[in-house]
Amino acid sequence: MDSVGNSRRPNFLIIVADDLGYSDTGPFGSEVKTPALDKLAQTGMRLTNFHTASACSPTRSMLLSGTDNHIAGLGQMTEHMASKEAYQNRPGYEGYPNFSVAALPEILQDAGYETIMSGKWHLGLTKETAPSARGFDKSFTFLSGCCNHYNYEPQLDDPSHSIFTPMNAGEFWMKDGAYLDRKKDLPANFYSTTSFTDQLIGYLSERKNSQKPFFAYLPFTAPHWPLQAPAEVIAEGVYDEGPGVLRSKRLQALISLGIVPKDTEPAPMTHELWDSLSAEERAKSARAMEVYAAMVDLIDRSIGRVVDHLEKMGELDNTFILSMSDNGAEGSLLEAIPIMGGETTVNAIINKYYNNSLKNMGAGDSYVW
């Protein structure tokens, strides 16, 4: 951003990836090609000691309030608080940014900024806590924590899976303050990263006052599980050597970039050794990583699209851009969670509705992590 001789107030664009690992992009040593982020890093600043919360909604509450997540009302993940009596009716555990703090879009809106958002909210499901109630002039949002990236959710129409029926009540998707019907109102070719980017660019194109500064917020749901990406973006064979080799390569890249000391020792690996897995297990593990990398690739392409649009608008040099992740890479295995055991669990739903065969991994009707 060029501020020399520029009296205009700057625009702001904040981009948030979901569960993106520290070394998953080019500026931090990844083998995944991320030219858009590479260019931003080369022409801007790479923050190597940047910290977030360890989980999703607490980070988002701090980002959009400028305060500690407990002060903001997200002392814990909303989903965890709802099931534990210890958190009920306690200050700092409201499950949404409470009204003792001012949200960043509210502050900028009051300062004359146009405020727009497209992507994941995860800071409240009601109209009173939705983006439109916390300072966003325009917003296209998924209000909850995660979803199928292709909007393939057959379990939501199955009354036998009662734990999911609230999601089918039209309360998780919203546009400009109105709830959306996921089956009728989302694009037929919906893919989360692409569709969120399309809408943000649409909002930018619809601006009626080009002299009014804007605050744009683009929080993706990718690369959060389920791991899904278009087949044409998935590169095969990149991860056939296994995670141990990949870890060594990334560590050397981080050392070469000067991000970590030369004598850095990685933490011990906790999963089974690659050579001890069967050929099928190795193939599926490598495929999952290929799909994950494709999701990161698509995030970068989308960032490039937004940057190109800003340049065409003549706003790029007057826009402060921050790209970050809400936390580090996914650290748990879904099969270790109690919900994976019986007929009404996520595991049962995967077995009933999804095809996790090797050839189908990454498709909308696959569910892998």
pLDDT digits (tens, 9 = 90+) for 163-218: 554 455 567 999 999 999 999 999 999 999 999 999 999 999 999 888 899 999 99
* Residue 5 pLDDT: 46
For CA atoms 98, 103, 105, 107, give the dihedral sign: positive
So which residues are the catalytic ones?
Answer: 56, 122
C-alpha distance across the termini of the chain, in Å: 37
Is there a contact between 170 and 144 (Cβ–Cβ < 8 Å)?
no
- 0.85 exceeded by the pTM? yes
Query: pLDDT for 27-78, tens place per residue?
Result: 999 999 999 999 999 999 999 999 999 999 999 999 999 999 999 999 988 7
Residue 342 is predicted with a pLDDT of: 55
| Domains of the chain, earliest start first | 11-331 (3.40.720.10)
Q: Give the span between the Cα atoms of 264 and 250, in whole angstroms.
A: 12
Length of the chain: 369
Q: Tell whether omega for the bond before 213 is within 30 degrees of 0, i.e. cis.
A: no
- In this structure, are residues 118 and 196 in contact, taking their beta carbons and an 8 Å threshold? yes
Residues 6+ away with beta carbon under 8 Å from 99: none
Q: CA 46, CA 25: separation in Å to the nearest integer?
A: 12
Q: Which residue positions in the chain have pLDDT lower than 50?
A: 3-5, 165-166, 338-341
d(CA 256, CA 252): 6
Residues with Cβ within 8 Å of 45's Cβ and at least 6 positions away in sequence, in order, are none
Residues 6+ apart with CB under 8 A from 189: none
CA-wise closest residue to 60 among 176, 172, 219, 222: 219
CA separation (Å) from 204 to 216, 248, 345?
Answer: 8, 42, 41
pLDDT value at position 212? 95
Q: How many Å apart are CA 221 and CA 144, to the nearest integer?
A: 10
Instruction: Identify the CA nearest to 137 among candidates 108, 115, 118, 120.
Output: 115
pLDDT of residue 197: 99
Name the strand (E) or helix (H) holding 290: helix 279-313
Which H or E run contains 294?
Answer: helix 279-313
What pLDDT does 364 receive? 97
Burial class (CB within 10 angstroms; exposed 0-12, middle 13-18, buried 19+) of 251: middle
